[in-house]
Structure 1
Amino acid sequence: MGLVLILIGLAVYFIPTFVAGHRQHHNLAAIFMLNLLLGWTFLGWALSLVWALTAVNQAGSRPISSDYDSAVGPVSLAPRAMNRTPPAAPTRQRKKSPLETNYRWKSDD
């Protein structure tokens, strides 16, 4: 009887991993590790279950695009600054001190 309860407990504990495996989730290993290490907390178990139920990326599949996507091209979620090279740093002339210049003081002669 004790062994049956342990097996049922393990089956319930690893439900998120079983769901991710059944759905052939692309993050199965990460979901398993989250479930294994933090599943003992309700939050870790719930997060791994939600993650297992998220959309699955199939190899070679493309997300559904709308007419807007085909008109303007792919839309990046990254900030604009990350999509382009930074501009060259402005060159600023440093003002020379009087000791660095060839400046001659006028003499009172």
Structure 2
Amino acid sequence: MVFLRMLILIALTGYSYGMGQTPANQLNEFGTFVSASFFLLAPVLYFYPLLEAYMHKQPNIYSIFALNLFLGWTLVGWVVALVWALKSQEPVKAAVVSTPDVKPVAPPPTPIIPPSPAKQMKQCPYCAEDILMAAKKCKHCGSEV
């Protein structure tokens, strides 16, 4: 990667030096080559997401083409089309679970609890709530009975 960056930097330095040596109304040979190759390579770069979608055999290649054609001129539309084209198409794995035939089990019968004998109650003289006859303190108001 460093080698590629150095090569690009050397090419741009040569281009800028060559452009500085020519008159203002002309292009040198390197400038002519760059401008001619730009018009040839720009459509390839613009439709690069479509090329990637074709190479990855995307099932929705027409949608990627439409997105790239109409919104590819924005950087966001081009990046979305490229990400969509590079997305892997792994099938969704469904697990088949077989359940054994189990008959529903009835819940066990609840035991019948005999009712407790009624407790003797009295009223609190302070709050008039029902309390047990043996209570020495009211559970509602907290006063001594």
Output the CA distance in 1 between the equivalents of 2:52 and 2:97: 37
Question: Which secondary structure does the structure 2 equivalent of 1:70 belong to?
Answer: coil
Q: Which moved more, 1:24-33 or 1:3-12?
A: 3-12
If the length of structure 1 is used for normalisation, what is the TM-score? 0.53
Output the CA distance in 2 between the equivalents of 1:3 and 1:32: 26
User: Partner letter of residue 37 of structure 2?
Assistant: V
Within the alignment, does 1:38 sit opposite 2:63 as a pair? no
State how many pairs are aligned.
65
% identity of equivalent residues: 34
Quote how far apart the aligned CAs of 1:70 are.
1.7
User: Partner letter of residue 38 of structure 2?
Assistant: L
Within the alignment, does 1:50 sit opposite 2:63 as a pair? no
Output the CA distance in 1 between the equivalents of 2:36 and 2:64: 26
In structure 2, what is the equivalent of residue 71 of structure 1? 97
Question: Which secondary structure does the structure 2 equivalent of 1:55 belong to?
Answer: coil
Output the CA distance in 2 between the equivalents of 1:26 and 1:50: 14
Output the CA distance in 1 between the equivalents of 2:93 and 2:40: 41
Question: Which secondary structure does the structure 1 equivalent of 2:97 belong to?
Answer: helix
In structure 2, what is the equivalent of residue 24 of structure 1? 57
User: Partner letter of residue 52 of structure 1?
Assistant: A
Considering only aligned residues, what root-mean-square deviation do their CA atoms show, in Å? Answer: 1.9
Q: Deviations over 1:26-85 (max 9, x none)?
A: 01011001001100000000000011011236xxxx5334xxx2227xxxxxxxxxxxxx
If the length of structure 2 is used for normalisation, what is the TM-score? 0.40
Quote how far apart the aligned CAs of 1:24 are.
1.0
Which has the larger Rg? 2
5+ residue gaps in structure 2? 1-32, 99-145
